[in-house]
Chains A and B, each alone.
Chain A
Amino acid sequence: MNFEYFYSLIILGLSGFIALAIGIRKESKKIIALFTFIILIISFILVVFKSSGYSIYFLDFTDFNTYWALIFIVSSMVIILPSMHDIQNKHDVFYALILFMTLSMVIAAYTFNLIVLFVSFEGVSVITYILAAYNRTKRNLEGSLKYFVISTIGTAFTILGISYFYFATRTFNLLAVSKLYSNVALLLALVFIIIGFGFEIAIFPMHQWAIDTYDGSPNSISSFLSTGSKLVAYMVLLKILYLGFIPDYNYIFYFFAVLSILTMTYGNISALSQNNIKRTLAYSSVAQAGNLILVFAIIGYSYYNAALVSRTTLLRFGIAIAMFYSLAYIFMKAGPFIAMSLVKKDKIMIDDFIGLARKSKVTAFSLAILLLALAGIPVTGGFLAKYFLFFTLIIGGLWWLAVISILNSVISVFYYFRIILYSFWKPGDNDFDMSPEIKYSVIIMALITIALGFAFTLYTYLIGIAII
């Protein structure tokens, strides 16, 4: 057994307990947060500088998995700074939970075994129930309760789906799927798995909890729910759909073409009529989920070989863009949610952002950059992600799907730009909470988003590692 590969996992697990121990000594929240951040950086470095291609028990240390592990560690890092502002008490428990959650996510990233995927995924879910209710206000508790109930239903579906999947393929190891034993069971498995993880990704008919929970949770937790925890479910679904359904991709395309169109359109149109800005962002997160699951439609479509290019080429591009989009998505989605903390209110309406540019030009510009990224305007990571997503759709020959998603992208411009418009030039004034934690988080996110706008090399690298 080669222990080198487990260092990051061990460090994450152990330091969770150390964080609790620091809490007993009643150290200030700054020290615990700093400790957590350093641990995350160390595990990031350990994950990066590790040769790939090792596999033991249910863990596979491939480049593909490593990339997802990095994404999840980054998604935890993102909320450390803003949570110092949002979380009022029991910081030791909070940061220990974050570390444990990161451990769960990293394990989920490293495995192709359905049972382990499920267990680690639940590990993330259980912790996010707690985090969503962390400040114990009425709004937090309501959001968390809805999340808990709905998620439990989702879990039941997932388990059912996994058992049908076993019935159909006689294995839990996704890499070992080769032969099909029952066609009907596989279809049932597909349906149940989509429903189960669909709740977490918040795709169209399963999205309603997300709006309330994102609205009710503390801002940094909303940002994590809509990035990290959504991406875990996304990655699990990606692994299952891509590898587990190799014998029969037949239905995936139809399911996801329809689902993504519905999700995008519903999310965008609902976001248009919202004045509550956090709910707008929640709906936009639903719409973005529609963009993300377009990749599954691409994967399914590759089965038909009707595409313009060869099957593996299309798969490679599809999975690469899923990976790139996820990374860009973390920053551009978490940023605006974190920026909500600038307003000193629970219920944040769009009017509350009036006068932000007069208060702090840099913050307003950073928020504008993040929103531009969500709308897919150039020189941002969001643009590059959308650019190559549409590119992949065209490579696959799915012009009609590309046109529909482009029209959706146009609709989304309207509500993103409305926020910019309010924060920059509506007359009026508001009181803003310019705590350095929030301000610098937003600025850093915006800078990273711009840097990702030039990350062509990352994209071409991802094409190289995309197929497992």
Chain B
Amino acid sequence: MILIGFLMAFLIVTILSFFTGKYAKQFSLISVFILTVIFVIYSFLRFATYTGGIISKSNILLSSFTAKGISIQINFSTGLTGFTDALVIMALMVTIFALLIGEKSNDDTFFGLLISVGFGLVGLFMVRNFLFFYIFWEVVLVPMFFVIGKYGSYNKDKISIKFFIYTHVGSLFLLLSIFTLSTYYFIKYGIFTFQISDLMNLAFLTPLPKSALYFSFFGFLLAFLIKLPTFPLHEWLPNAHYTAPYSGSILLSGGLLSMGGYGLLGILYPVASLFPVALAYFLIALGLVSVVYFAFTSMFQKNLKRMIAYSSAGEMAFVTIAFGTSLLSTGYVRTLDLSGGMYQTIAHAFVTSLAFSSLYFIYKRTHTIQVYGLGGLYHRTPVASSFFLAALLASLGLPTLAGFIGEFSVTIASYQSIGLLTLLIVFGLIVTAAYFIWAAQRSLFGFYNESLGKLKDLDRAEFLILFLMLMSSIFIGIYPTLIFRLLSLYASHMGGLI
């Protein structure tokens, strides 16, 4: 019930924020901050004694009909696992980061849209019913479409529509899968329901006809892999990032990409033991190709924002690898693998937020983010450059920063199941490190590009924003237990739950 109340409060905040006029930024920041504090306190209290599984379940029967051989139930139900709890906090934090950057500071619609994305994300992670899961899944898209299309820069009309349609296709196949499962549930138990706990249930899914089962797996995988995105399905991402305003980019990579991670590890994994083994290898292959492909693609980007976009997709490829390899392993290794994948989903959001934000402050001064247009920034803006460097280092997985934990766990754990193929991951990581350092060298160090004119370093407010992001990144980098405990508890009990 508390979760439903929390969602209601968030909804009210979201609606109000569209009508706040010139106080939009203050209002939205303060209200989301208060919501975050409430939720963090709640989850500290609730998750102190967490032992795995879903807790804080609540269920409202919205409507039902039972007569004449038909029974249909429509529920609104919520619940939290260790993973989704961390995801909700991450979504709230990312929303705050996006609001802090908030470029169009006089436009209440802009802030309303950003909060709407945050609301959709939080709702998505909380709800345990496929009807509302789908609603939130799509609700995130619409404000994002507006953010990209209305406030974007280059070629925004085409790119925003492409973004929407590309992801919408995946969503619709997700819809078909949900319906298929629900129909077969009716055939077996005589009741139509959309509850995730009922439909994503091994006892129910195991005896299903293979065609129906694989059809629905296909729909789920397509939707989640588009969001993630994995190698052949990534086409929407770099353009959307490139066009979106920086707040939008933060929400895109921090929010929308983690939806894919949540879908794979939170929704699909509990029943993934029904996957044919070939599919597991196929997913691993996709992940490995993605790591290497995105590493090389970002190496050849001349635009720093596109480079970060590709590298963020490359980081999410670890989730695919974790998903695939954990299907092949058992016991402790599996838990490590899954927790690593989940941790990567969460850490990735913090790391890319830092990267995009520091890039925004550089862009605000230099008005260019082309690698060749910059150069020697460190001489004039040492603080901003240091933050950007820290973000790059975090992305390549430097220990003590957030990115390390997830990548390390996944790499170690996947060695158990795919052996020397792990070298491909390492190779991808090396390429990543190479191009990040190369990019840093060309844009931050070396001779100062005099055509940029006189630059001022960060002022106090900007420094605080970046400092907050860096601190959160470092915090989950050196004290991962806080989150990792929840994730591993959840992962180790995943077989029998949901």
Instruction: Give the Cβ gap from B267 to chain A, nearest Cβ, in Å.
Output: 18
* Interface size bracket, A side: 35 or more
At the interface, yes or no: A410 with Cβ under 8 Å from chain B? yes
Across-interface contacts of B156 in A (CB, < 8 A): 425
Cβ–Cβ contact A463 & B70, under 8 A: yes
Across-interface contacts of A379 in B (CB, < 8 A): 135, 139
Cβ–Cβ contact B70 & A316, under 8 A: yes
Cβ–Cβ contact A417 & B161, under 8 A: yes
At the interface, yes or no: B235 with Cβ under 8 Å from chain A? no
Cβ–Cβ contact B149 & A399, under 8 A: no
Q: When A399-B176, A409-B172, A421-B157 are in contact, do A391 and B149 touch as well, CB less than 8 Å?
A: no
- Tell which of B149, B175, B215 touches A390, judged by Cβ atoms closer than 8 Å: B175
At the interface, yes or no: B109 with Cβ under 8 Å from chain A? yes
CA distance A406 to B109 in the complex (A): 31
CA distance A312 to B63 in the complex (A): 21
Across-interface contacts of A409 in B (CB, < 8 A): 172
Q: When A313-B69, A409-B172, A460-B74 are in contact, do A391 and B134 touch as well, CB less than 8 Å?
A: no
CA distance A418 to B160 in the complex (A): 10
Across-interface contacts of B186 in A (CB, < 8 A): 309, 395
At the interface, yes or no: A165 with Cβ under 8 Å from chain B? no
Cβ–Cβ contact B187 & A394, under 8 A: no
Instruction: Give the Cβ gap from A393 to chain B, nearest Cβ, in Å.
Output: 8
Across-interface contacts of B179 in A (CB, < 8 A): 390-391, 394-395, 402
Cβ–Cβ contact A461 & B168, under 8 A: no
The interface centre, meaning the residue of B139, B142, B182, B187 with most chain A CB atoms within 10 A of its CB, is B142
CA distance A456 to B172 in the complex (A): 20
> In A419-460, which residues have CB < 8 Å from any B CB?
421, 424-426, 456-457, 459-460
**What total of A-B pairs shows CB separation below 8 Å?**
99
Cβ–Cβ contact B62 & A456, under 8 A: yes
Cβ–Cβ contact B69 & A461, under 8 A: no
Across-interface contacts of B150 in A (CB, < 8 A): 424-425
Across-interface contacts of A312 in B (CB, < 8 A): 68-69
At the interface, yes or no: B97 with Cβ under 8 Å from chain A? no
Q: Which residue from chain B places its CB closest to the CB of A460 in the assembled complex?
A: B65
Across-interface contacts of A317 in B (CB, < 8 A): 70
> Chain B 353-394 against A: per-residue CB contact (8 Å), 1 yes, 0 no?
000000000000000000000000000000000000000000
Across-interface contacts of B74 in A (CB, < 8 A): 456, 459-460
CA distance A368 to B160 in the complex (A): 15
Secondary structure at the B interface, as helix, strand, loop or mixed, is helix
At the interface, yes or no: B417 with Cβ under 8 Å from chain A? no
Instruction: Give the Cβ gap from B75 to chain A, nearest Cβ, in Å.
Output: 10
At the interface, yes or no: B490 with Cβ under 8 Å from chain A? no
Instruction: Give the Cβ gap from A455 to chain B, nearest Cβ, in Å.
Output: 9
Cβ–Cβ contact B172 & A424, under 8 A: no
At the interface, yes or no: A13 with Cβ under 8 Å from chain B? no
Across-interface contacts of B215 in A (CB, < 8 A): 399
The interface centre, meaning the residue of B131, B134, B141, B179 with most chain A CB atoms within 10 A of its CB, is B179
CA distance A461 to B173 in the complex (A): 28
CA distance A417 to B161 in the complex (A): 7
At the interface, yes or no: B83 with Cβ under 8 Å from chain A? no
Cβ–Cβ contact A457 & B183, under 8 A: no
CA distance A316 to B164 in the complex (A): 34
Across-interface contacts of B64 in A (CB, < 8 A): 460
> Chain B 135-171 against A: per-residue CB contact (8 Å), 1 yes, 0 no?
1001101100110011000001100110011001100
Cβ–Cβ contact A461 & B70, under 8 A: no
CA distance A271 to B165 in the complex (A): 17
Q: 12 A–B contact pairs at CB < 8 A?
A: A308-B183, A308-B187, A372-B142, A378-B135, A394-B183, A406-B176, A413-B161, A414-B161, A417-B145, A417-B161, A421-B149, A424-B149
**B-binding residues in A (CB < 8 A):** 308-310, 312-313, 316-317, 361, 372, 377-379, 383, 387, 390-391, 394-395, 399, 402-403, 406, 409-410, 413-414, 417-418, 421, 424-426, 456-457, 459-461, 463-464
11 additional A-B residue pairs with CB within 8 Å, beyond A395-B183, A418-B161, A457-B62: A309-B186, A316-B68, A379-B135, A406-B172, A413-B161, A413-B164, A417-B164, A421-B160, A426-B157, A456-B63, A463-B72
